């Protein structure tokens, strides 16, 4: 039991630092801009690049864990992650920050996170599996709410560099802990190590990079019409003068590459990804539900962040504090969901969680206005956090419930990749809804105002360019500035209402998809050794919770 507690602690802390890197830097952008004297589009590659590298290599990282051992890949990934964090913490310009955070850390994270799920699958079997996955889901989910708070605190009171400095401390400790306390998975008698599928790796990497890039960057470069130059360093790769944006071209490229990956893998005897895994209904429909869940959650977090800062004019740190109940309730809801899964079943807990999230979003949409106070948002954040704790913690358990142990790494990588794609899709789609509706509401209100015709036209043009981040032009009359600021604040609140209802509709679809998941898996993961068979024996529920809490 002691080693399992240490194993869980190592996995949870590693999961936290990997997932936090997706959100912790958002609030530090203004400070980094001043420190490095750079531009917002250039700096966005720090955050976008991490997500792109991470999502691109997740399936490959999971497969390497299947081939060479999840513990080994976890240790190697943690070492790479720590190296990238050290470079990012000591960075002297944007280039070194991008290399450390977006490239090196992204590579390490893509090896670490699938390994954490694989290690859970092999070390926690029987009835305590639900509790272990509950803890993992709570840690992964709460990072979305805790990231802005941690980033705001470090940026305001310490230094944004400590967002990476923490990783330099935790990742090496995780490496040592994994080496000392996590047992390597047993080798199957007579099992031959399969060769690495380099062609499949190249196809899935380029295909996923293209897909996540297109989903993430549509708002920056234009979904159809080019609105900005695509630049890599000093080179312009795709100028805005072209009649079409790079985004639909990259979308088409991603579909071609992923289609080629599918056809190539179906013909191989030892594929990188076994599409036969999709025959398991828990895996197939669980992944679909995961996409929708991530889409709704990350879209909601983006929408509320825009509302709090652009409509209520809160600071980044205040934004983090207002969102704190959301992250805290995920941590509280996940173990409750784990206990509940032992008394009813895991799939029912997921459905309850999705239903709670839907109800919470409808409530949140009903209270959004420029006069909203924290206590009005609190019930919605509480219910949404509990629902996220239920759904996120147990959905991963559902996805992996029928997967053979020797395929748990690639299945874990697929699960996390799908979550990344869902988050990118949610941010892209719901971000577009907020921007479009803000422009529509603000333009209509400006044209019906008593402002002079010239001021109205200039303001409408500026709203179309800046969207929810609108700020009056320098030198504008103070009376007009005050009125325009109030108009745009009301427009952002109305747009956030529309976007959150859209997210609620998305979760309704997710709840419907969860009905397709069988309540009980058709079979347990394959166990071929006495040690694995013993691990599958039932364990007392209360003892499991006490051991994992």
Q: Are 134 and 335 in contact (CB under 8 A)?
A: yes
Looking at per-residue pLDDT, the higher value among 271 and 373 belongs to: 373
Residue 280 has pLDDT above 90, yes or no: no
Determine whether 254 is exposed, middle or buried from the number of CB atoms within 10 Å of its CB (0-12, 13-18, 19+). buried
Q: Residue 477: what pLDDT?
A: 64
- Label residue 126 by pLDDT band (50, 70, 90): low
Mean pLDDT of 442-446: 86
295/28: higher pLDDT: 295
pLDDT at position 520 over 90 = no
Closest CA to 118 of 270, 19, 11: 11
The pLDDT confidence band at residue 521, using thresholds 50, 70 and 90, is low
Position 529 confidence tier, pLDDT thresholds 50, 70, 90: very low
Place of tokens 């005050």: 482
Task: Identify which has the larger pLDDT, 414 or 521.
Answer: 414
* Average pLDDT, rounded, for the chain: 78
For the domain spanning 2-183+272-439+492-525+541-548, the CATH number is 1.20.1250.20
191 or 32, which is more confident: 32
Q: How far is CA 351 from CA 93, 273, 360, 505, 513, in A?
A: 47, 28, 14, 15, 10
Q: Residue 379 — very low, low, confident or very high, per pLDDT cuts 50/70/90?
A: very high
- Round to whole Å and give the CA distance between 15 and 35: 29
Exposed (0-12), middle (13-18) or buried (19+): which is 446, by Cβ within 10 Å? buried
Q: Is the dihedral of CA 327, 295, 287, 75 positive or negative?
A: negative
Task: Examine the pLDDT at 17 and tell me if it is beyond 50.
Answer: yes
**Residue 192 φ/ψ region, left for φ over 0, alpha for ψ in the -120 to 50 degree band, beta for the rest:** beta
Two tokens, residue 41: 């589009």
The structure tokens listed for 294 are 């991530």
Rounded CA gap, 247 and 217, in Å? 7
For the record, the structure tokens of 229 come out as 């130059």
Could you please report the per-residue DSSP string of 223-281?
A: SSS--S-EEETTEEEE-TTSSS-HHHHHHHHHHHHHHHHHHHHHH-SS-SS-GGGGGSH
Q: How confident is the model at residue 82 (pLDDT cuts 50, 70, 90)?
A: very high
Highest mean pLDDT among 44-48, 384-388, 429-433: 384-388
Summarize the confidence of residues 482-511 as an average pLDDT: 87
- Going by pLDDT thresholds of 50, 70 and 90, the confidence category of residue 533 is very low
Name the residue among 426, 484, 430, 495 with its Cα closest to residue 460: 484
Task: Assess whether pLDDT exceeds 60 at residue 414.
Answer: yes
Residues 234-257: tens digit of each pLDDT: 678 888 888 889 989 998 999 999
By the 10 Å C-beta count (0-12 exposed, 13-18 middle, 19+ buried), 305 is classed as buried
The angle subtended at Cα 100 by Cα 95 and Cα 101, nearest 5°, is 100
Distance CA 118, CA 406 (A): 9
β strands within 177-217, DSSP E: none
Distance in Å from the first CA to the final CA of the chain: 12
* Residues with Cβ within 8 Å of residue 509, at least 6 apart in sequence: 292
Which pLDDT tens digit goes with each residue over 33-78?
A: 778 877 655 666 777 677 778 777 877 887 788 778 888 899 999 9
Question: What are 539's two structure tokens?
Answer: 């364990």
User: Residues spanned by CATH 1.20.1250.20 within the chain?
Assistant: 2-183+272-439+492-525+541-548
Give the closest residue to 206 by CA, choosing from 218, 198, 216: 198
> Is the confidence at residue 547, as pLDDT, over 50?
no
More confident residue, 55 or 104: 104
Q: At what angle do helices 408-447 and 281-306 cross, to 10 degrees?
A: 30
Q: Tell me, what's the pLDDT at 39?
A: 63
Answer for the pair 507, 500: CB distance below 8 angstroms, yes or no: no
Structure tokens at 470: 């609108």
163 vs 194, which has greater pLDDT? 163
Structure tokens at 438: 């803000």
Q: Give the whole-angstrom CA distance, residue 305 versus residue 58.
A: 28
CA distance 26 to 101: 13
The set of residues, in sequence order, having a beta carbon less than 8 Å from that of 518 and lying 6+ positions away, is: 281, 282, 347
Q: What gap in Å lies between CA 162 and CA 86, rounded to an integer?
A: 10
C-beta of residue 417 within 8 angstroms of C-beta of residue 364: no
DSSP single-letter state for residue 193:
P
- pLDDT tens digits, 186-216: 655 444 556 677 788 888 888 878 887 887 7
The pTM of this model reads: 0.71
Segments in 127-197 forming alpha helices (H): 129-157, 162-181
């Amino acid at each position: 039991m002691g080693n399992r507690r240490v194993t869980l602690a190592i996995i949870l802390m590693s999961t936290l630092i990997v997932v936090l890197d997706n959100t912790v830097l958002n609030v530090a952008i203004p400070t980094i801009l001043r420190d490095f004297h750079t531009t917002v589009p250039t700096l966005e590659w720090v955050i976008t690049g991490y997500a792109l590298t991470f999502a691109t290599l997740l399936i490959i990282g999971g497969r390497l864990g299947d081939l060479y051992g999840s513990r080994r890949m976890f240790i190697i990934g943690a070492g790479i992650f720590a190296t990238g964090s050290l470079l990012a913490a000591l960075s002297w310009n944007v280039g070194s920050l991008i290399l450390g955070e977006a490239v090196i850390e992204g590579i390490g994270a893509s090896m670490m996170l699938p390994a954490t799920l694989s290690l859970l699958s092999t070390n926690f079997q029987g009835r305590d599996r639900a509790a272990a996955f509950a803890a993992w889901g709570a840690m992964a989910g709460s990072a979305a709410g805790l990231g802005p708070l941690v980033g705001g605190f470090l940026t305001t009171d310490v230094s944004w560099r400590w967002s990476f400095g923490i990783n330099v401390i935790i990742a090496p400790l995780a490496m040592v802990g994994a080496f000392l306390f996590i047992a390597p998975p047993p080798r199957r008698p007579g099992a031959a190590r399969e060769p690495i599928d380099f062609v499949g790796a190249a196809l899935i990497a380029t295909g996923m990079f293209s897909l996540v890039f297109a989903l993430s960057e549509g708002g920056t470069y234009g979904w159809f019409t080019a609105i900005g130059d695509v630049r890599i360093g000093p080179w312009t790769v795709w100028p805005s003068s072209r009649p079409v944006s790079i985004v639909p071209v990259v979308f088409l490229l991603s579909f071609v590459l992923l289609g080629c990956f599918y056809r190539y893998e179906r013909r191989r005897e030892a594929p990188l990804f076994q599409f036969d895994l999709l025959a398991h209904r828990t895996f197939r429909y669980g992944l679909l539900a995961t996409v929708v869940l991530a889409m709704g959650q990350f879209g909601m977090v983006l929408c509320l962040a825009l509302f709090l800062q652009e409509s209520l004019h809160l600071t980044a740190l205040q934004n983090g504090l207002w969102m704190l109940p959301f992250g805290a309730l995920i941590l509280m809801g996940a173990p409750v969901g784990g206990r509940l899964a032992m008394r009813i079943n895991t799939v029912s807990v997921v459905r309850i969680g999705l239903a709670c999230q839907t109800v919470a979003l409808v409530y949140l949409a009903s209270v959004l206005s420029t006069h909203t106070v924290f206590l009005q948002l609190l019930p919605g954040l509480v219910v949404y956090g509990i629902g996220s704790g239920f759904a996120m913690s147990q959905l991963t358990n559902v996805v992996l419930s029928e997967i053979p142990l020797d395929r748990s790494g690639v299945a874990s990588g697929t699960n996390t990749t799908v979550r990344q794609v869902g988050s990118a899709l949610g941010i892209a789609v719901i971000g577009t809804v907020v921007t479009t509706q803000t422009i529509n509401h603000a333009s209509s209100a400006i044209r019906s105002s008593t402002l002079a015709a010239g001021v109205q036209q200039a303001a409408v043009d500026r709203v179309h360019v800046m969207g929810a981040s609108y700020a009056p032009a320098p030198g504008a009359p103070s009376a007009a500035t005050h009125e325009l600021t109030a108009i745009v604040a009301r427009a952002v609140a109305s747009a956030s209402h529309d976007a959150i209802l859209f997210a609620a509709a998305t979760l309704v679809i997710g709840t419907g998809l969860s009905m397709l998941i069988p309540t009980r898996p058709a079979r347990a993961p394959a166990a071929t050794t006495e040690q694995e068979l013993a691990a599958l024996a039932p364990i007392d529920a209360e003892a499991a919770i006490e051991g994992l809490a």
